[in-house]
A and B are shown apart, each in its own frame.
Chain A
Amino acid sequence: MTASDNPILTIENLTVDFLSEGDPVRAVDNVSFNVCPGETLVILGESGSGKSVSTGTVMGLIDCPPGDIVAGSLIFDGTDLSRLDENARRMLNGRRIAMIFQDPLAHLNPVYTVGRQIAEVFEAHGNGDVGSVRDTVVKLLERVGIPDAAKRVDYYPHQFSGGQRQRVMIAMAIALKPEILIADEPTTALDVSVQSQILELLSDLQRETGMALIMITHDLEVAAAMADRIIVMNGGKVVESGKAQDVFTNPVHAYTRRLMSAAPFGGACPERPRTKVRGEALLQVQHLSKHYVLGAGPFSPKKEFRAVDDVSFTVHQGETVGIVGESGSGKSSIARMLLRLDQPTTGQAFFAGEDILTLEGRALNSFRRRVQMVFQDPFGSMNPRMNVYSIISEPWVIHRDILPRPRWDDRVVELLELVGLKAEHAHRHPHQFSGGQRQRVAIARALASEPDLIVCDEAVSALDVSIQMQIIGLLADLRDRLGLSYIFITHDLPIVREFADRILVMQQGKVVEESDTEMLFNSPKHAYTKSLLDSVPRPKWHGNSLTRHL
């Protein structure tokens, strides 16, 4: 691929506000960047950094008001986009500049077939008659890798998988061979293996058409795999920009440095001394299964779906077991069964000698004290009407014998400080905290009943990268200080490498591989584990191939 040096799009001093009661909120602050044909520019930033707003302005997708473009010029191929009227702008959208979005299901109209929605691009720009458009659409779908495209052109968006929907979005975007493609977090909602396929497709298409690609992401690995150049945004400002490798290996700005320290290939990450001596077995799970009966209609035969299929494993005292798998692999079902939120179909789980899956009444209640859960979405896992004090003290209301009432105040403060919060936070409500702080509150609540085992279900997945590492650090610190055991469920391989002693890899309800963390990463045995490891994107500057297995 040859990138020309004349920028096709130059953005200069762009400043965008969002108007609100009183003073406007500045979303984008004096941002400048450009992109050349054939080049990939990655805009890297965490949520709220203004990265989507700046590209939204290019497409004219920001509603004004409440949006307000304060200053700046958007020069596309010699014309200033901000001076064009609505119709002239419309003629560029979809034809010369196209865009794909994060959540393809929401971004496709649910009541029209995908074929019709792709055909609308041609219609909007007056190309082609009805008969030939259909053939073109089928060809486009074939190009982006939709199998059986001639038939599925008449399907509705909900009849496709997540990755296929993103392929449909891509087909729509490249229909008229645009000069610029803006991809706004195109793989965030997808599994790792699907993510790498979509990234590959984008790279291939760029190579074929020579279009400029502007990719917005918060994911360091995706950024490294795709970028020729990177700009890093924080708080609406560009804090760093340059060649991808330079930004990753020699970050200048303090924020970038902090961000890059979380990258798996940024440098050598400090090894945690691993506890080689295992304690006693705390939890023994034997032949755990969960089956659902599907499609029990009058005409369709009964089908059985095995969400969890004959899973056995052991957690020792003080040990961290990671359960890794993509969405639908059954990993969360295991958590819900162990916490007795769902009933298992068959199987046993011995916790301190008792089969917890058959407990009832008082025995169940006393077990619930000893195993706690930290959920994925810290905001959703707390009642928005309760303040932090009531949230943390709730276990003591339910289990009267944990702590006498007079000591609650002191203990809440103690727990808050233990998780790195302050005493004055006790009387705030969840919505007044940031995502990372909320997860700290959730951890404090889990600790309130003095558990032996904490189950973390995607506990850091909803957080920004830099925050993820802080929370993992906190969990590791608590493990060492309080002698806790963890079951750490995640879809994100690099994270468990930092944290887990042992890892179970799950696929379609089954455990396909179980081994110590280092062994798993260095010499994976099962093909699926290998493919998972290989799907982790590699930096572009390491070679041409996007992922390891190519």
Chain B
Amino acid sequence: MVDVTVPSLKSPGNARQLAIYLARDKLALCAALFLIVLFACVLFGPLLVGDLAGKLGLRQRNLAPFSAEQGFVYVLGADTLGRPILARLIVGAQNTLAIAAAAVFCSMAAGGMLGLIAGYSERWYSHVILRLADVIMSFPSLLLALIVLYTLGPSMTNLVIVLAITRIPIFIRTARAEVLELRERMFVSAARSMGASSGRILFRHIAPLVAPTLGTIAAIDFATVILAESSLSFLGLGIQPPDFTWGAMVANGRGYLSSAWWIAFWPGLAILLTTLSLNILASWARTVADPLQRWRLQSLRKAPR
């Protein structure tokens, strides 16, 4: 109804604009800062406290949190073997995030590719791809993962593959839906009438427009995959000791709830804060991307009267 010019997200020099929008939403800003700190911990933390995470300490067994006399790494307490929880959280963060990132990347790459094919071609393999997505979608992913992991044995690779497979349908479906819409667009007709090959149309014209959507979904899915991995680890089918993730740490602490609640509490809180931050940022990004909503993040100056 009204042509209101708004800064396009695609125009160059929008990084500063995005930073301004981020600063206006305090919650999203906190989420972003938390994720940056977490990322720094994952990159550099294991170098600093990696050895401590496995260090047994008789004197620190079930040490309660917030006691300062044992040093900073024991601020969140220690587990039943006297290992500092803070150090273990940092090492666990690296495993948790690495597995989730690998799984999301694999499912995005594979699902995006399959979706592009299923959307553009109408041959038999497109139907096979879609039916496959249906089969995976129509069954609880955790059960499927449990069965596969129990059979193949819980290893890092298997975990990534299983998690990736359970998340693939959403990428296939999204990519396909986008392609179905895009291939009817006039610039595709224009390219075809110019004589462009299917490969050129698919990869030069369609894929670059599908990629941002898939990227957005991957970002949102990251939180889902962290939760799924944690559940599997909690049920004992994640990566095996001596490696561990946050989910496994919660499982370890479950038996000591009445005596040492902090062993299970902190890693769960870490999962919650990470997924929550991701979801808050995703919700902020949706507001920024929606022209009907974006004004809510803008500094609106009224005309003098």
Contact = CB atoms under 8 A, between A and B. Distances in A.
A68 B191 contact: no
B1 A52 contact: yes
Which has the most chain A C-beta neighbours within 10 Å: B3, B195, B200, B295? Answer: B195
Given A21-B298, A21-B299, A375-B189, A398 B2 contact: no
Interface in A405-442: 429, 431, 442
A365 to B, nearest CB: 5
A68 B303 CA distance: 9
A339 B192 CA distance: 9
A65 B189 CA distance: 40
A399 B191 CA distance: 12
B125 interface: no
A395 B187 CA distance: 13
A20 B298 contact: yes
B298 A19 contact: yes
B298 A381 contact: no
Contacts of A48: 3
Interface in A13-55: 15, 17-27, 47-48, 52-53
A392 to B, nearest CB: 11
A192 to B, nearest CB: 24
A380 interface: yes
Contact of B195 (A25, A65, A68, A398): A398
B295 A66 contact: yes
A18 B194 contact: no
Contacts of A336: 189
B245 to A, nearest CB: 38
B300 A429 contact: no
A22 B301 contact: yes
A373 B192 CA distance: 11
A364 interface: yes
Contacts of A371: 193
B295 to A, nearest CB: 4
Interface in A378-405: 380-385, 394-395, 398-399
B143 interface: no
A20 B291 CA distance: 11
B300 A365 contact: no
B147 interface: no
A66 B194 contact: no
A376 to B, nearest CB: 8
B209 A19 contact: no
B59 interface: no
A442 B1 CA distance: 26
Contacts of A519: none
A449 to B, nearest CB: 7
Contact of A398 (B200, B208, B299, B303): B200
B301 A27 contact: no
Contact of A381 (B7, B187, B295): B187
B33 interface: no
Contacts, number: 111
Contacts of B191: 383, 394
B189 A385 contact: no
B8 A431 contact: yes
A15 B193 CA distance: 47
B190 A20 contact: no
B4 A25 contact: yes
B205 interface: yes
Given A25-B5, A394-B196, A373 B299 contact: no
Contacts of A19: 295, 298, 300-302
A25 B5 CA distance: 8
Contact of A383 (B197, B205, B299, B300): B205
B10 interface: yes
Contacts of B189: 336, 341, 373, 375, 381
A340 interface: yes
B6 interface: yes
B127 interface: no
A178 B209 CA distance: 48
A56 B1 contact: yes
B196 A339 contact: no
A20 B4 contact: yes
A368 to B, nearest CB: 4
A364 B299 CA distance: 55
Contacts of A124: none
Among B7, B205, B300, max chain A CB count under 10 A is at B300
A217 interface: no
B7 A21 contact: yes
B195 A66 contact: no
Nearest to A377: B186
B185 interface: yes
Contact of A18 (B2, B17, B196, B208): B2
Interface string B4-21: 111110100000010000
Give the top 5 A-B pairs by smallest Cβ distance, nearest first.
Answer: A19-B300, A368-B195, A381-B186, A21-B298, A380-B186
14 contacts: A18-B2, A18-B4, A22-B299, A24-B300, A24-B302, A70-B303, A336-B189, A368-B193, A368-B195, A373-B189, A380-B185, A381-B190, A385-B209, A449-B194
Interface of B: 1-8, 10, 17, 185-187, 189-197, 200, 205, 208-209, 295, 298-303, 305
Given A21-B6, A27-B4, A375-B189, 5 more contacts: A18-B4, A20-B298, A52-B1, A341-B189, A365-B195
Interface of A: 15, 17-27, 47-48, 52-53, 56, 65-66, 68, 70-71, 336, 339-341, 364-365, 368-369, 371-373, 375-377, 380-385, 394-395, 398-399, 429, 431, 442, 445, 449
